[in-house]
Amino acid sequence: MSSVLTPQEVDFPQWYQDVVAKAKLADNGPVRGTMVIRPNGYALWERIQAELDARIKRAGAVNAYFPLLIPNNYLQKEADHVEGFSPELAVVTQGGGRELEEPAIVRPTSETIINASFAKWVQSHRDLPLLINQWANVVRWEMRPRLFLRTSEFLWQEGHTCHATAEEAREYALRIVYEVYQETMRDVMAVPPLLGLKTDKERFAGAIRTYSLEGLMVDGKALQMGTSHELGQNFAKAFDIRYLSVDGEREYVWQTSWGASTRLLGALIMCHGDDNGLRLPPAVAPTQVVIVVVKDGEGVVPAAQALFRELSSAGLRVHLDDQLHTSAGRRIIDWELLGVPVRIEIGPRDLAEGRAMLIRRDTKTKVPVSLGEAVSAVQKMLQEVQESLLTLAERRRAASIIDTASLAEAREAGATGCARVPWDVVRAAEADGTLGKGLSVRCLQRADGSLPEAADEEGLVAYVARAY
């Protein structure tokens, strides 16, 4: 790996591309807008996926899989939905060397095809709630692709549910926001999201409400990390999803859908990375600890192997680097680039003194520790790194949000960070597209920070920023 990265302050977008390339996270695919996720990147996705999946299941949803190809007529059934996605659709018109009788849409999202199944599965109130999640790829033709952030094909999970009442649907949509997405982002990824309601202009096509989780990156831009939608009865009516109530009446269900994607890898990179590369929170790091044999000597490699076994037995994700054909300096730079939270260096002098050197990736702090106490010392350091990265991100987020009172002030603050401004001040500019170049209302909150039910509530505050 080459260690030279463009400094963040010089060119943040180039720094991001450098990290993705040199940490071997992903490559551009052969078709414009697609990506090859390399093993280093996919290992990160697997960790995030596992954490999300566990929480999704705790929320009662079960996994299923639905077809990649969707009949064109399915998308036509919900007017707002098809209008919202039309510019991004990839359409298959030929198959088996013949023109298809009906074009097939390559899945941009699965509301339509999943609801076609829900119409068969939901018959009685005893079938509710129906809570389904799918792990899949989707295709949305992207005109300005950036690896992990905006690609024509990406990986994600999408949840789809049916409920007996609007209240139950809203409660579940919010449960996903708090118990699945916020917990994973904050407690695992150490990226504290800003929660809010999307404006009517920005809400998901076909939804009545969209809740968003926005991350604020090092460069002051916002990144939409996940969304949860109340769909009302729009799709239920389009696909005739009805159940027999306790009173014997045929009622339409109330629905939600929600999703998070490989864009979360972009959030990890841009929220925590520095000029030396990635800085991974231990909870999500594929490798939490790397043992670097600095120099060979009598008993050094066996001692490192013994330490490897101890750490592994303690349940840590650990790697032993005894590749002595490459200089220790070169290997250390590479491990820093990959963002491994804790590095243990051991050489002949260390072994002679019965110790090793522990180094935190986030602060570069070095702590000598006896080999007999290494496991407990590493566990403590990992916890400190996790907490420190979250604290730093929270402080950065707080510092980047500026209270403003006018449209002009909001534009100025949003150019380099995030403006918090009364919604009534920017409502008209958001609606007519004159908010400012590159600026958008990321989400709305009540004055106390809680989530509103509608954009027309009195006293709402808006968060205005540039966004990826």
Residue 82: its pLDDT value, please?
Answer: 65
Confidence of residue 3 (pLDDT cuts 50, 70, 90): low
Mean pLDDT for all residues in the chain: 95
Which residues have CB under 8 Å from 399's CB, separation 6+?
A: none
Q: Give the mean pLDDT of 21-46.
A: 97
pLDDT over 60 at 77, yes or no: yes
pLDDT tens-place string over residues 286-311: 999 999 999 988 899 999 999 999 99
Candidates 468, 467, 466, 461; CA nearest to 420 is 461
Report the pLDDT averaged over residues 355-360. Answer: 97
Q: Which of 91, 65, 64 is nearest to 76 (CA)?
A: 91
Looking at residue 433, its amino acid is: G
Higher-pLDDT residue of 297 and 66 is 66
Strand pairing category for 289-293 and 318-321:
parallel
Residue in this structure with the two tokens 């949000």, named with its chain if needed: 401
DSSP 90-140: EEEEEETTEEEEEEEEE-S--HHHHHHHHHHH--BGGG-SEEEEEEEEEE-
Q: Which CATH class is domain 12-272?
A: alpha beta
Mean pLDDT across the stretch 335-361? 97
Cα–Cα–Cα angle for 14, 17, 23, rounded to 5 degrees:
130
Predicted confidence at residue 166, as pLDDT, reads 97
Q: Indicate the pLDDT class of residue 100, thresholds 50, 70 and 90.
A: very high
pLDDT surpassing 60 at residue 14:
yes
Instruction: Spell out the domain ranges in the chain.
Output: 12-272, 289-391, 404-466
Q: Which band of pLDDT confidence, cut at 50, 70 and 90, is reported for residue 79? A: low
Furthest C-alpha separation in the chain: 82
Band (pLDDT 50/70/90 cuts) for residue 142 is: confident
> Residue 85's pLDDT is what?
74
- pLDDT tens, position by position, 275-290: 999 999 999 999 999 9
Q: What mean pLDDT is predicted for residues 342-360?
A: 96
The fold adopted by the segment(s) 289-391 is Rossmann fold (3.40.50)
Tokens at residue 168, please? Answer: 């139950």
If you count them, how many residues does the chain have?
Answer: 468
Q: In this predicted model, what pLDDT tens digit does every residue of 107-129 receive, in sequence order?
A: 999 999 999 999 999 999 999 99
Q: How far is CA 442 from the centre of its chain?
A: 16
Q: What's the confidence (pLDDT) of residue 84?
A: 67
Long-range contacts made by residues 38-45, C-beta under 8 angstroms, separation at least 24? 40/286, 40/338, 41/148, 41/265, 43/286, 44/265, 44/268, 44/280, 44/284, 44/286, 45/155, 45/262, 45/265
- pLDDT at residue 1, as a whole number: 47
State if pTM tops 0.75.
yes
Q: CB under 8 Å to 236, separation ≥6 — which residues?
A: 115, 162, 242, 252, 253, 254, 255
| pLDDT(67) > 90 | yes
Share of the chain above pLDDT 90, in %: 94
